Structure 1
Amino acid sequence: MLVLSPTYKQRNEDFRKLFKKLPDTERLIVDYSCALQKDILLQGRLYLSENWLCFYSNIFRWETTITILLKDVTTLTKEKTAKLIPNAIQISTEHEKHFFTSFGARDRSFMMIFRLWQNALMDKTLSPKELWHIVHQCYGTELGLTSEDDDYVSPTADHINGLPGEEQVSVSDLLDPGSVPPSPVACSPPSSSSSAIPSGLGLCTAGSSPPSSAGLPVLPVEVPAAEGGDSHSESASHIPLPAPQSLGNLSSLDMTNDEELPTDPSNSSDTQEESEVESFFADLSGRLHINTVVRMSVDKLYDLLFSADTHFIQHLFSQRHFTDLTVREWQQDCTSGNTSRVLSYTIAINNPLGPKTAPVVETQTLYKSSARGECYVVDSEVITSGIPYQDYFYTVHRYCLTSINKHKSRLRVSSDICYRKQPWSLVKALIEKNTWSGIEEYYRHMGEGVYCSPVPSSLVVLVALNMLLFYKLLALERAAHTLETWHSYSLTDSPLPQSAGEWAQVLQLQRQFHQAQLGKWQQILQSSVTLLDQMKQSLEKLHRGIATQGVQQSPPADPSTDPLTDN
């Protein structure tokens, strides 16, 4: 009796152990390595069964488990990580949105999820022959399964290449003949405003009309635009959900070879380029030290971290007691196209048995795929001399700076220890303990400095100058009001009175002016008297408090204990 394939068997057992609440009839169909984007990027695996989509991640014993019933999915869209990398899929339900990224082959994964989702919406179940056919397509032909293993059905040569011809029904057989135009435009690749949809589900492309059955529900599919990259719902791309009895002998899930899977041309990219970008943005396998959102643009964050003359770097190096910093200019490598520079400095060591300082040579490499305003990826190789076991290891670090919007960016920093030659277990444990301790302390200070970036001194000077200007304007306004008041009572600009009535009017104005002045002085005197009364009351309370405290500290002598009285 043949045993199960280790890969598929292990995956299926993991699927059942991780998601115990699922029905026992659910069998793993395919799984993908991906990452869930939340506050941090959670690397894990996406598991697909006939009716469920599940995700599991375990990072330093921090487990994340998600189970989604495929019928509850409302939209399924292709997305781009950092608006640049086409390796993400967003799955939305009525209440939640899940953004999965870091797919190795995003288009194939999307098509598999899409077909299983549509199959679940049509309440179609897979026969054992169809299920194992899909498993063979995903895990290969040599599974080592027999008919004694559950409901396993051994595929024939026809099934390996595709489902039998008698079970395949073309789209034109399901549609009304009058609704399909004779022009071959409906079979040509769609333009940027439409998405290529698998024909096995009876979908309408941009050039065909929907089926004549008016009672079929229609579900919009969000298709990312070719140029802008934003997802939008296209009126020409709809999924009519036919009744089960109208399918006839159509396969529940018509799967073809992987090479024949149609993809969306608006998001498709060369496989080699996509895999290169995927490995380019992946974190190092050691430890992730920083994963935070910074309130500055990605260009400013890059200048802050990789400009030697910034106050931030100088403050960080002085805080870590790094001295003798020398920074060379960036040099471009003609072969790889990357840009690199070399830094040399001296670090302080707290080891009582070893040297107090050690020289360090750091080589920073900026990859050519970095795009200004979008993302930067810098690798750093640090070689420390003059320390024990220096010829055994060196450290590497990766800085990933991605743009969120014009005023926000994300910083991810990961590190790893590389060995030139394998040390003994005891020596390796000692190296890793001391090295990780120093690295984590360094990036802890860096993370605190980036998150709370210092306020530039020029901004403080600007605020002080603005306050001085405001005070000057306030003083000028008060002087203007005073001059205006005096001007209203002045008679220099007016002619002298000629009649008794005019003289009486002048005397009336003079009387009003003196009364206003007397009123002001009365208010000033009244305020002064009030303040003096308050000061008098405060002094009296203070005097009473001092007197009371003196009486409590010196109580009178008890006459019963007086020695003179006893005599």
Structure 2
Amino acid sequence: NYRAAIGTPALALDLNGNENQRAGGSSCSETPDEEDVKGPEPEIDGRLYINRVYHISSERMFQLLFTPSRFMQRFLDSRKVFDLEYTPWQSDGNGNQTRTLTYTITLNNPLIGKFTTATDTQVKGQEGQSYFVQTEVFTHDVPYHDYFFSVHKYFITRTSKHKCRLRVCSNLKYKKQPWGLVKTFIERNSWSGLDDYFKQLGWSSWHRSPPIEPIRGVYIHLFLMCHYLQYVSCSCPPPHCKAPWNLLELWIHFVSLIPVFLSLLHVSPVYQKRKVMGPAVRGALQDSITTLEQLKSSLLLLQKSFEVMNKSKSEESSDH
């Protein structure tokens, strides 16, 4: 089960921050009404590739990684993994669930070939809202494939309602012991491929879940403004106070553009190197500028409306 899979604590793990997080990120902040959920430390076997807190629930993280999610489909497409087939999860009688995947991996390595088929056996355990998945991957068309396989462990730990920590580690296991040069060949090529795979997976996941603080600031301001505008709209008869209604519509449009704004915070490294901006990015920027200009005009109109209303009330009070 999940707790059995966790094992003994791993002293190298960072409980308070992100070991591999970029400087300036702040993915460990808490909302005032949430506290970290402390759980047992996972036993790290082999290389620790990912150890990061993400601003999504543990259930959502599991869905992203272990269901046919759009994120995973795009990631596998980028890795040129195809012919994916899998069986449904089935109980193994020990409180866990298992399934088997088969797929073809593009290698493009002259030493080991262009493609290889693979069989991936996965075991899933769950305790509450935390998940453990162990996968054993056997490749069938690479040199010395009958000597080894790779084992990968995914620990998805709930830390709060909308946050989780993802830890991923990998190791190579041998079905039979190879002699020196063969073992060197296996490990050099296997680790090189795994390093590249999990580096891209960690980067893609980080882009999927940007740091908490910028998002929280945007949403708090939007939340307060939208509720304030709703209050004003309900307090003023629409014929005499049209500005709030128009402004509310603009804010709703602004909310719909948030994913675009967040994606612009992390421009693709390809664009950064080429110093060019694609049509989609240019269009998103132009839409954002237009929306903000409309918001500015509506806010000024709203301010003027309040001034007129306050002046009218003052005159009425003086008359009485």
Gaps of 5+ in 2: 1-7, 20-35, 211-251, 259-286, 305-320
Compared with structure 1, are the counterparts of its residues 407 and 352 closer, same or farther at alpha carbon in structure 2 (3 Å cutoff)? same
Amino acid at match of 2:77: S
Output the amino acid matched with 2:44.
Answer: D
For residue 330 of structure 1, the aligned residue among 68, 76, 89 is 89
2:64 aligned with 1:304: yes
Q: How does 1:259-298 map to 2 (within 5 A)?
A: 281-284=42-45, 286-298=46-58
Equivalent-residue separation in structure 2 for 1:378 and 1:353 (angstroms): 31
TM-score (normalizing by structure 1): 0.33
Deviation of residue 289 (structure 1)?
Answer: 0.8
Aligned residue in 1 for 2:278: none
1:356 aligned counterpart, secondary structure: strand
Change (3 A) 1:371 1:432: same
- Residue of structure 2 in register with 1:83 after alignment: 38
Asked if the contact 2:55/2:209 (under 8 Å) is kept, the reply is no
1:345 aligns with 2:103: yes
Pairing of 1:176-255 with structure 2 (within 5 A): none
Deviations along 1:135-175, whole A, 9 cap, x unmatched?
Answer: xxxxxxxxxxxxxxxxxxxxxxxxxxxxxxxxxxxxxxxxx
**Cα drift, residue 301 of structure 1:** 1.2
Residue 410 of structure 1: aligned partner:
165
Equivalent-residue separation in structure 1 for 2:193 and 2:17 (angstroms): 26
Q: How many residues align?
A: 209
Contact 1:299 1:372 in 2 (8 A): no
| SS at structure 1 position matched to 2:176 | coil
Q: Which residue of 1 aligns with 2:155?
A: 400
User: In structure 1, the residue corresponding to 2:202 is in which secondary structure?
Assistant: helix
Shift of 1:462: 6.0
> Aligned partners of 1:416 and 1:469: how far apart in 2?
50
Question: Does 2:150 align with 1:357?
Answer: no
Match of 1:319 among 51, 61, 78: 78
Instruction: Name the CA shift for 1:461/1:40 in 2 (closer, same or farther; >3 Å).
Output: closer
Whichever residue aligns with residue 319 of structure 1, its letter is: S
CA separation of 1:431 and 1:304: change in aligned 2, threshold 3 A = same
Does the residue aligned with 1:341 lie in a helix, a strand or coil?
Answer: strand
Give the C-alpha shift of residue 82 in structure 1. 4.5
Among residues 121, 127, 133, which one is paired with 1:371 in the alignment? Answer: 127
| AA aligned opposite 1:83 | K
1:461 Cα deviation after fit: 9.5
Whether the 8 Å CA contact 1:400–1:411 is kept in 2: the answer is yes
8 Å contact from structure 2 (residues 10, 44) kept in 1: no
Q: Which residues of 2 match residues 101-116 of structure 1 at below 5 A?
A: none
- For 2:256, the equivalent position in structure 1 comes to 463
Is 1:440 the counterpart of 2:195 in the alignment? yes
Q: 1:431 to 1:460 in 2, by over 3 A?
A: farther
Equivalent-residue separation in structure 1 for 2:122 and 2:63 (angstroms): 14
Indicate the residue corresponding to 1:228 in structure 2: none
Tell me how far apart the structure 1 counterparts of residues 55 and 170 of structure 2 sit (CA, whole Å).
24
Contact (CA 8 Å) 2:50, 2:198: kept in 1 or not? Answer: yes
Task: Please report how far the alpha carbon of residue 379 of structure 1 lies from its aligned counterpart in structure 2 after TM superposition.
Answer: 0.2
Amino acid at match of 2:50: I
5 Å-filtered alignment, 1:155-166, equals none
Q: Which residue of 2 aligns with 1:422?
A: 177
Please state whether the residue corresponding to 1:350 is helix, strand or coil: strand
Quote the residue 2:139 is aligned against: 384
Take 1:84 and 1:313, find their aligned partners in 2: how far apart are those partners? 27
1:435 deviates by 0.3
Local SS of the residue matching 2:177: coil
The answer as to whether partners of 2:81 and 2:104 remain within 8 angstroms in 1 is yes
> 1:387 and 1:460 mapped to 2: Cα distance?
52
2:254–2:291 contact (8 Å) kept in structure 1: no
- Pick closer, same or farther for the CA change 1:453–1:426 going to 2, 3 Å: same
Once the two structures are TM-superposed, the CA of residue 38 in structure 1 deviates from its matched residue by 4.8
Contact kept? 1:376, 1:402, Cα under 8 Å: yes
**Alignment-mate amino acid for residue 391 of structure 1:** D
The one-letter amino acid of 2:138's match is I
Asked whether the 8 Å contact 2:124–2:132 carries over to 1, the reply is yes
Distance 1:331 1:350, change over 3 A: same
Superposed CA deviations along residues 212-258 of structure 1, whole A, max 9, x for unmatched, are xxxxxxxxxxxxxxxxxxxxxxxxxxxxxxxxxxxxxxxxxxxxxxx
Indicate the SS of the match to 1:349. strand
The one-letter code matched in structure 2 to 1:379 is Q
Equivalent runs, 1:136-175 vs 2, <5 Å:
none
- Cα shift at 1:464: 5.5
Q: Which structure would you say has the larger Rg?
A: 1
Distance (Å, rounded) in 1 between the aligned partners of 2:53 and 2:18 = 10
Relative to structure 1, the CA distance from residue 469 to residue 430 in structure 2 (aligned partners, 3 Å threshold; closer, same or farther) is: closer
Return the offset for 1:451: 0.9
Q: CA deviation at 1:426?
A: 0.6
Cα displacement (A) at 1:319? 1.4
RMSD: 3.7
Residue 350 of structure 1, CA deviation: 2.0
Check conservation: 1:323, 1:346, Cα contact below 8 A. yes
% of aligned pairs identical? 35
